[in-house]
Structures are given as structure tokens and as C-alpha cells.
Amino acid sequence: MAKQEDKFKKVISHAKEYGYVFQSSEIYDGLSAVYDYAQNGVELKNNIKEYWWKAMVQMNDNIVGIDSAIFMHPTIWKASGHVDAFNDPLIDNKDSKKRYRADVLIEDYVAKIEAKIEKEVTKAAKRFGDAFDKEQFIATNPRVIANQEKITTILSRMGKSLEAEDLADVKALIEELEIVCPVSGSKNWTDVKQFNLMFGTKLGASADSAMDLYLRPETAQGIFVNFLNVQKTGRMKIPFGIAQIGKAFRNEIVARQFIFRQREFEQMEMQFFIRPGSQKEWYETWKETRMKWHNSLGMGAENYRFHDHDKLAHYADAAADIEFKFPFGFKELEGIHSRTDFDLSSHEEYSGKKIQYFDHEINESYVPYVLETSIGVDRMFLAVFSNSLVDEELENGSTRTVLKLPAVLAPTKAAVFPLVKKDGLPDLAKEIIDDLKWDFKVAYDEKDAVGRRYRRQDALGTPFCITVDHQTLEDKTVTIRHRDSMEQERVAISDLKIIIDDAVNVKNWLQKMK
Ligand code: GAP
């Protein structure tokens, strides 16, 4: 656990030190659970969004994108169920006066049992060496089985109680598990209460005529209310999807875990409109497609897993998370939800407008069903950033900190150095940059010895360093150094574009989804 915490602290400090993420309003002591993306962070974030958008919108001729407004008619949130049901169950500790999400307290308890299982597996793997069969061990070891059963019992009881709004039982579960407040260490809990997560605001100048609005807590509703517009103007035929990337706002109670849980964050959502009855099939298809997208980035299949929801949101008939192994354990990165016709039917009812699709293939009109994929940009950022940050021991006994970002997502693709600040080498380096910058984000660095410049670019996650030296003046070749292998090769300046492009081209990465 301490190791995990150290790693997480290192992620946060590295993100600040290397210009990726800053606390919002830092000079005023910050604003809790709100963050700013810095000069490198914004590039990484934009690259993540582009990687998603291309996979969704560009590569699928039946998916189109929109960018709807954050302000929406307030009745939308009544129709969507968010006014009545977008709540978190809260519990206060009477001694520390700290407030927690009751479900998160229980999930943290479960995470401790999971850590025990993992410890048991690691110990056994060491004991049995190459002969170790992890799956068999998990299926047969009595301690592991008992702990797995414990987890299932706890989560299914919590799911059922939350579903039935039986908050007294959620409290009873916390008490039975003897969960203590992490601050006071006491079990002196209040009752569990529901708390709505939407931020309210006002539209209009005068106090009497101002309209109460909400900041959208998900981008999805902007898609639903534009369903007819897009379907008609785009002449879309079911099955088809509408994708959107945009900000969402939630008054989160558990304001910790850095950019994992923020009050202002960004979502990449896609609503896929389908024929009623085909939802099971599409649910499986999209689960598989999204997992392939994640795996195409090469961050280790073992770092992802599906988690089927025990408690379904008010709109869903099936739902699963893609969880990622963050520095604080496996947590939700993306949600895949079978939303039925809940949203469109509800908007039909509240707006009084018919929201239906005439299916020429079966000669029938219906309210389409919806399959949703929804991923947080910030969580994806944290997944990529934390997974890439490693301290590596080198053969000469020294260590280096390197951010092994998938090259396609790296903010800067190459840094160009003159070996020395004289003899025309800086001018030549800048000439190379002037050519490369039409295709890639590139940086120039002439400060310090080349070895230190390499280390700086390693820590920034730059896949290539290109050094211009005296030989360059004679034969137009440079040294290119690869971030991960640290290998260096001599190549012609005229080949640089091809070498870099091969490593960072979206096509080469997305093709791995096939
Ligand atoms: N439209 C469905 C929806 O919003 P959700 O599971 O509440 O579903 C989807 O959110 C994704 O948005 C999550 O998987 C997560 O990646 C991201 N997300 C949700 N709340 C967040 C928060 N407070 N901070 C950062 N990301 C968040």
C-alpha cells in the first residue's frame, strides 16, 4: 500500500514539475478537485481526444460527431432523471466531521481484500516459479476463494441496497464490516443520506426573470436532444452513432485522487442508436471494441479488466466498466451502458415531440434503443501518464526517470539538439525543426551536456532526440536516439520524417485494433 501511495505521489509531482498538470488557482491556495492542464498536459490531452475521435468518427462511416452547448434547457435534467436520481449516498463521521461517499468507503474496504488476494498470488508465483498457473491457483486456493466470496457478498449486498434505496442497510453494512473513518479512526457514523451532484446556476440578468439552470453532469443529453436533428440532416440509418467530447460538471464529495475525480472534467461519449431487442448483441460488440481501442495503445492487457455493475443507473438494463490499474488500484476508466429507450422516450414525454425512427427494413416506427460508451478524458490521461512513468535502473548502475508514453500520444515527438552552441550547429538544428514542425510538434534544446538533455526529454516523454554534430555539416546525417531502448543510430536528415512518422502515426496504432 505504501509503495502504491509513493508511486501516486511521484505521479502528481512529476505532472507538476514537467508542465503537465497544475492545481487550479494555485496562487490562491488552489480549488479542491479542480485542475489546469499545462503546456505539455494540453498536448497529451488533445492527442488522447484525437485518438478517440479518429477511432470513433473518422473510422466509422455510421458515426458522426457533434459539439452541443453546456447550458441546456432545465427540463432536460428532469427528463433524464438527474434531478431526482443523480445522487451519491453520503455518510459523515461524527468525530472527524469528515464526509464520505458510503459506497466508496465500502469499495475501499473491498480493495483491501483484493490487495490481500494479489499478495497471496505474488507469494505463490515466487514459490512455484515457472510452473505457476495463476488461473488455477485463484480457482483452487482456499484463502483466495474465501476472499473472493467475501468480495462478491459485500458488493452484491451493497448493489441491492443502493438499488432499493435502502440506505439504512448501507449503513448497517458499514457497521458490520467495522469500517473506520480514515481520519479519526472511529466507527461513529451518521445515517446515510442522498446528495444531488449537479451544480446549479442562473441564466438571465434580472433576479425575477432569471432561469435556474444546471451545468451538465454528462455530455450524453446533448446527443439525445439532437437525435432527430442529426438523424434527419445526416440521413442516418439505424444502427448509427453520435459522438461528442466536452466538459461535464459534478459536485463530487470525495475530492481526492488528483485528476481521477474532479468537479469539472471532460468526457468522450458515444451514443449508438439501435433497433429494440438488439441491445445485448451491441453491448457485447462495444465492450469488445472499446477494449481493443485501449489495448492498441500497448499499456499491458493485464492492466485492464471488465467490472459488471451490480447497481444499475436509473437508465440502464446492463452496464460494465472498463477498469484500469491506477496507482491506487483497479478503478473505473470507462463505462459501457445499455441505456434502453429510457432517454429518448423520456424526452418524448417531457417535450411533447415525437422522437421516433421509421425503419424501412422492417416497416416499423420505434423509439431507438441506445448503447453508450463513455470515457473520461482526464481518467484516460491519468491512466496513460501513471502507467508510463517509470524509474529505470541502467547497466552502469545509475537510474533514469522516463515517461514511456505511447509515441502516438506524446506531446512532443522529437527534440533537436546542436552538440555545441557554435560552428553553425544551432542554425542547422533550427533548420531541421523548421522542416519537421509542419508535421510534428518538435522542440529545440541547447542547454547543458547532451546526456542531461536526453534525461530531460526522457522525463518529458519525448520519443526521439536528434543530435546535430560536426559530421552533420559534412554529410547531412544526424544521430537519432530512441527514448525507450536508448539506442542511437546515424541517419540521413532526409529520412527523419519517415522514421518519426512511422512511430507516431495514428494509423499505425489504430490498426492494432483489428
Ligand atoms: N453518460 C454516462 C456517464 O456519464 P459515468 O459512469 O457517470 O457515465 C462516465 O461517467 C465516465 O466519465 C467515467 O467512466 C469516468 O471516466 C468519467 N468521470 C465520471 N465522473 C468523473 C469525475 N468526477 N472526474 C473525472 N472523470 C469522471
- The stretch 445-474 carries a mean pLDDT of 97
pLDDT in tens, 327-346: 999 999 999 999 999 999 99
For ligand 1, atom 19, which residue shows the shortest CA distance? 376
Q: How far is the CA of 224 from the centre of ligand 1 (A)?
A: 17
Q: Which residues line ligand 1 (CB under 6 A)?
A: 218, 220, 250, 252, 261-262, 265, 267, 269, 332-335, 372, 374-376, 378-379
Q: How far is the CA of 4 from the centre of ligand 1 (A)?
A: 23
Whole-number average pLDDT of the chain = 95
8 A C-beta contact, residue 169 and residue 89: no
Atom from ligand 1 closest to the CA of residue 262:
24
**Is the pLDDT score of 163 beyond 90?**
no
- The stretch 402-407 carries a mean pLDDT of 98
Residue 148: CA count within 13 A, CB half-sphere: 12
DSSP per-residue codes, 374-404: EEEHHHHHHHHHHHHEEEEE-TTS-EEEEE-
Which amino acid, one-letter code, is at 4? Q
Phi, psi torsion values for 361, nearest 5 degrees: -65, -35
Collapsed DSSP state (helix, strand, coil) of residue 57: helix
Q: How far is the CA of 66 from the centre of ligand 1 (A)?
A: 19
- The stretch 459-466 carries a mean pLDDT of 98
For ligand 1, atom 27, which residue shows the shortest CA distance? 376
Collapsed DSSP state (helix, strand, coil) of residue 79: helix
Burial class (CB in 10 A: 0-12, 13-18, 19+), 228: middle
The pick from 265, 330, 337 for probing ligand 1's pocket by mutation, whose C-beta has the most ligand atoms within 8 angstroms, reads 265
Atom from ligand 1 closest to the CA of residue 267:
12
Q: How far is the CA of 404 from the centre of ligand 1 (A)?
A: 26
Buried-exposed string 378-402: b where 16+ CB fall within 10 A, e elsewhere: bbbbbbbbbbbbeeeeeeeeeeeeb
For ligand 1, atom 21, which residue shows the shortest CA distance? 261
Confidence of residue 1 (pLDDT cuts 50, 70, 90): low
Confidence of residue 493 (pLDDT cuts 50, 70, 90): very high
Q: How far is the CA of 268 from the centre of ligand 1 (A)?
A: 9
The pick from 72, 272, 333, 374 for probing ligand 1's pocket by mutation, whose C-beta has the most ligand atoms within 8 angstroms, reads 374
Q: Which of 322, 325, 337 is nearest to 292 (CA)?
A: 322
pLDDT in tens, 275-290: 999 999 999 999 999 9
Phi, psi torsion values for 383, nearest 5 degrees: -60, -50
Question: Which residues does residue 372 pair with via DSSP β-bridges, in sequence order?
Answer: 271, 337
pLDDT in tens, 318-332: 999 999 999 999 999
Confidence of residue 70 (pLDDT cuts 50, 70, 90): very high
For the chain, the first-to-last Cα distance in angstroms comes to 37
Confidence of residue 27 (pLDDT cuts 50, 70, 90): very high
The pick from 199, 267, 323 for probing ligand 1's pocket by mutation, whose C-beta has the most ligand atoms within 8 angstroms, reads 267
The pick from 196, 332, 340 for probing ligand 1's pocket by mutation, whose C-beta has the most ligand atoms within 8 angstroms, reads 332
Confidence of residue 204 (pLDDT cuts 50, 70, 90): confident
**Is the pLDDT score of 303 beyond 90?**
yes
DSSP character for 210?
P
**Is the pLDDT score of 121 beyond 80?**
yes
For ligand 1, atom 16, which residue shows the shortest CA distance? 376
8 A C-beta contact, residue 425 and residue 472: yes
For ligand 1, atom 25, which residue shows the shortest CA distance? 261
Q: How far is the CA of 397 from the centre of ligand 1 (A)?
A: 43
**Is the pLDDT score of 485 beyond 80?**
yes
Confidence of residue 388 (pLDDT cuts 50, 70, 90): very high
**Is the pLDDT score of 2 beyond 70?**
no
- The stretch 146-154 carries a mean pLDDT of 95
pLDDT in tens, 227-241: 999 999 999 999 999
- The stretch 364-393 carries a mean pLDDT of 98
Res 82: pLDDT? 93
d(Cα 332, Cα 190) in Å, to the nearest integer?
28
The pick from 379, 381, 384 for probing ligand 1's pocket by mutation, whose C-beta has the most ligand atoms within 8 angstroms, reads 379
Distance of CA 170 to the CA centre of its chain: 28
Atom from ligand 1 closest to the CA of residue 220:
1
- The stretch 188-206 carries a mean pLDDT of 92
**Is the pLDDT score of 226 beyond 60?**
yes
Res 256: pLDDT? 74
Residue 455's CB: how many other CB atoms inside 10 A? 16
Res 312: pLDDT? 79
Q: How far is the CA of 378 from the centre of ligand 1 (A)?
A: 10
Least confident of 8-22, 151-165, 331-345, 367-381: 151-165
Q: How far is the CA of 430 from the centre of ligand 1 (A)?
A: 43
Q: How far is the CA of 262 from the centre of ligand 1 (A)?
A: 10
Confidence of residue 4 (pLDDT cuts 50, 70, 90): confident
Contacts 24+ apart (CB under 8 A), 51-58: 51/297, 51/408, 51/409, 51/506, 51/509, 51/510, 52/245, 52/268, 52/293, 52/375, 52/380, 53/243, 53/245, 53/268, 54/506, 54/510, 55/293, 55/510, 55/513, 56/241, 56/243, 56/268, 56/270, 57/243
Could you tell me the three cell numbers for 223?
446527443
Phi, psi torsion values for 163, nearest 5 degrees: -60, -40
CA distances 447 to 97, 268, 421, 450, 472, Å, are 51, 39, 9, 8, 19
Atom from ligand 1 closest to the CA of residue 337:
2
- The stretch 269-278 carries a mean pLDDT of 98
Confidence of residue 151 (pLDDT cuts 50, 70, 90): very high
Stretch (H or E) spanning 359: strand 357-359
- The stretch 403-430 carries a mean pLDDT of 97
Collapsed DSSP state (helix, strand, coil) of residue 192: coil
Q: Which of 229, 220, 341 is nearest to 277 (CA)?
A: 341
**Is the pLDDT score of 377 beyond 60?**
yes
Could you tell me the three cell numbers for 310?
451490480
Res 514: pLDDT? 84
Residue 314's CB: how many other CB atoms inside 10 A? 13
- The stretch 195-216 carries a mean pLDDT of 88
For ligand 1, atom 6, which residue shows the shortest CA distance? 335
